[in-house]
Amino acid sequence: MVDITHKNTTLRTAVAQAIVVVSKPETIEAIKNDTVPKGNVLAMSKAAGLLGVKRTPDILPDCHPLPIEFTGVDYEINGLEIKVLFTVKTIYKTGVEVEAMHGASVVALNMYDMLKPIDKGIEIHAIKLLKKKGGKSDYKDKFRKDLTAAVVVCSDTISAGNKEDKAGKTIIEKLKTSGVSISEYVIIPDEEDIIQNKAKAYQAQGIDIIIYTGGTGLSGRDVTPEALIPMLDRRIPGIEEAIRNYGQDRTPYSMLSRSVAGTIKNTLILALPGSTNGAKESMDAIFPSVLHVFRILKAARHD
């Protein structure tokens, strides 16, 4: 199965359809009047769909087992056609499109099975996804495309040339995939005045995002939060909470990180862990959703 461990949990919804076409009006009348020999077709088929959708990963090997938190089955009868509308919702890391399509197909097959004794000409048509919601595809067109960023690596060891930077490069890759241009990438020692001077300079240049990596731990030289917090106009606790919550699901040590998020005027300041995994997971936790902050800072309407 596809690795989804890096994804965020969000509300996911999918609606699929299947169309059952009978061959004579008498079949439709039997369904409406509940005179089909095998029982109530619509109720029984709905029950079959509810059972079937929960078994999707048992049938399709690449589907992830996930919590089905809502299933809805609706019917629309038009002439000789019965349209099955199957809705599935979950709060999870991956979507429910296949589950919805599987559910719709099971409903249609059960209807076929119940109706075949009285109608030999039944067909199943147009099993397809009608709509889906949730996940990053819902937001990809909602962020500004002209954002710029500076990435600052805070490390005595790396700045002295004794170790290669990987965390900063990981951050850069994530920024690029989020459509953010890199204006500056620099490595500095863990010195409060240097950290502060970089923030002042980049903010004055109009850079939208300044991301520091390193110096957020608890050693004596970890001073990035101490340098940045006094400079911030406003903290953004929700971003900090999202970073630590995401990390805590993956390692118990995330609670020791002192990641910082806030603004200096219209510039977003982030201070992330200095380890490669810590930086990557922090970026995965908040990007690209965090870019919505720039619509708010520009007083854009936000839904």
| Closest to 150 measured CA to CA, from 221, 224, 204 | 204
Please provide the DSSP assignment of the chain as one string: ----TTSPPEEEEEEEEEEEE-SSHHHHHHHHTT--TT--HHHHHHHHHHHHHHTHHHHSTTSPP----EEEEEEEEETTEEEEEEEEEEEESS--HHHHHHHHHHHHHHHHHHHTTT-TT-EEEEEEEEEEE-SGGGTTTSS-S--EEEEEEE-HHHHTTSS---HHHHHHHHHHHTT-EEEEEEEE-S-HHHHHHHHHHHHHTT-SEEEEES--SSSTT--HHHHHGGG-SEE-HHHHHHHHHHHHTT-GGGGG---EEEEETTEEEEEE-SSHHHHHHHHHHHTTGGGGHHHHHTT----
| Closest to 71 measured CA to CA, from 110, 106, 120 | 106
| pLDDT score for 299 | 60
Assigned token pair, 122: 């039944």
The CA-based diameter of the chain, rounded to the nearest angstrom, is: 85
Q: What digits encode the pLDDT tens for the residues 183-226?
A: 999 999 999 999 999 999 999 999 999 999 999 999 999 999 99
| pLDDT score for 191 | 96
Q: Domains (ranges, CATH) in the chain? A: 10-133 (3.30.70.640), 148-300 (3.40.980.10)
**Whether the model pTM is above 0.85:** no
| pLDDT score for 135 | 72
| Closest to 74 measured CA to CA, from 85, 82, 66, 65 | 85
Per-residue tens of pLDDT for the chain, all 303 residues: 899 888 888 899 999 999 999 999 999 999 999 999 999 999 999 999 999 999 999 999 999 999 999 999 999 999 999 999 999 999 999 999 999 999 999 999 999 999 999 999 999 999 999 999 987 666 555 677 899 999 999 999 999 999 999 999 999 999 999 999 999 999 999 999 999 999 999 999 999 999 999 999 999 999 999 999 999 999 999 999 999 999 999 999 999 999 999 999 999 999 999 999 999 999 999 999 999 999 888 764 444
Q: How far apart are CA 113 and CA 38, in angstroms?
A: 9
Residue 190 annotated to the active site: no
Query: Which residue of the set 3, 34, 58, 113 is catalytic?
Result: 113
- Amino acid (one-letter) located at 85: L
Quick check: 272 and 149 in contact, CB under 8 A?
no
| pLDDT score for 139 | 57
